[in-house]
Amino acid sequence: MSPRFQRITPFLWFNEEAEQAAHYYVSVFENSRIRSITHYDGDTANAAGRPQGTVMTVAFELDGQDFTALNGGPVFAFNPAVSLVVNCRSQEEVDYFWNALSKGGDPAVQQCGWLQDRFGLSWQVVPVQLIELLTSGDAQKAQRVMKAVLTMKKLRVDVLLEAAA
């Protein structure tokens, strides 16, 4: 049997926090690890305008999903147009991931289960019950649930279920 082939790998551009961010994310998610770290050498350092010997890329895995982080400099920054969704099976998981990922982040960019972490990366912490309620085929129920979502920062399963009832 061959190992799983991941065709698409998210590639995250950091100024100079790639290694710090990767270690942090690995600490938050189970089944996660740093796979490899590369450094800028003479040629790549000169081409990229980065200090020789500093971290260039960090390949890491979060709960079985491969990622690559790059220290590319201040040219690009994250924004909420792209986010990573964390699907949660319970309110306890929602609470855990929300608290871990939002710690040190921007509290102004927190609504509807959406948050921005301390590195500027956007995440959506979503209970699977929300998807079930929104796709149940009952348009009125979905409308009530979505109205409830719009009033929250961190999503609460009990409030979603109450809105659906």
Residue numbers in the chain where pLDDT is lower than 50: none
Output the pLDDT for position 46.
74
130-136, Cβ contacts within 8 angstroms, sequence gap of 24 or more: 130/155, 130/160, 131/87, 133/160, 133/161, 133/164, 136/164
Global pTM reads 0.91
pLDDT tens, residue by residue, 130-140:
999 999 898 99
What's the CATH code of the domain at 32? 3.30.720.100
Asked if residue 25 and residue 54 are part of one domain, the reply reads: yes
Domain annotation covers residue 3 = no
Output the pLDDT for position 109.
84
Output the pLDDT for position 61.
97
Output the pLDDT for position 4.
74
Query: What is the pLDDT of the chain when averaged over all its residues?
Result: 93
Asked if residue 158 and residue 87 are part of one domain, the reply reads: yes
Residue 66's domain spans which residues?
11-71
Output the pLDDT for position 43.
79
Output the pLDDT for position 2.
55
Domain annotation covers residue 43 = yes
Asked if residue 96 and residue 151 are part of one domain, the reply reads: yes
Q: How many Å apart are CA 89 and CA 30, to the nearest integer? A: 14
Output the pLDDT for position 40.
92
Output the pLDDT for position 51.
84
Asked if residue 64 and residue 31 are part of one domain, the reply reads: yes
Domain annotation covers residue 127 = yes
Total structural domains within the chain: 2
Output the pLDDT for position 108.
84
